[in-house]
Amino acid sequence: MTTPNHKIRLVMELRRAGVVDTRILSAMERTPREVFCPPQFLDRAYEDTALPIAHGQTLSQPTVVGLMTQAIDPGPRHKVLEVGTGSGYQGAVLSLLCRRLYTIERHRPLLQDAEQRFRDLRLANVVTRHGDGWKGWPEQAPFDRIIVTAAPGDVPGALVDQLAEGGILVVPVGREKRSQSLVRVRKTASGTETEELAAVRFVPMLTGVPTYATDDVVPDGSQRNRA
């Protein structure tokens, strides 16, 4: 059972981990993490730990969500791309901080579950797509911010290309979980500036999309969630 004390304790842990932006702390406090947890892990919803979800993916550790969100510094006028919708938790937090969130997921069942959670939470500024995250979302580019929640071996060039000038991309990079780094890329008029922020562990970022029996999204693969 979740109580206000669970959320307070998590916010304190986020602060200790270096999440100091009050906008982000507020957004995470307002986002009910239990909604994104598998039923068997509900009692751990506000622990600062990653939790397994379907298709070999994970519900990210709250401090990692907070630090990644802080690293891209989303603003209320920003157009944000998220690569790797997963459970929808990171996207739900972002949606409270930006003008519009575009989010891509390669596993259709995960995306459908996340879409329902977005609807239940009345997050009307989220647009979803079933697709290959390596390709980004060129039809909607440029983006002010891009966040990637799976680890490629290198920074995907297609995503850098889809950043607006002055934009920020945050991505965990590394082929092995034990040697991944969270990388921030800033796009400038003369090129890009890259810095490593922290050691992290993410599932690998894969190319293509798995095949499923049903296909009930609109032809371009996108769907807007309406409250």
What is the distance between the alpha carbons of residues 54 and 64, in angstroms, rounded to a whole number? 20
Beta strands in 16-162 (DSSP E): 51-52, 58-59, 79-83, 100-105, 126-130, 143-148
Let me know: does 126 contact 225? Beta carbons within 8 Å: yes
Residue whose C-alpha is closest to residue 113's, from 51, 13, 56, 38: 38
Let me know: does 205 contact 134? Beta carbons within 8 Å: yes
What is the distance between the alpha carbons of residues 143 and 163, in angstroms, rounded to a whole number? 5
Q: Which residues are catalytic?
A: 60
| Strand 180-188 versus strand 191-200 pairing type | antiparallel
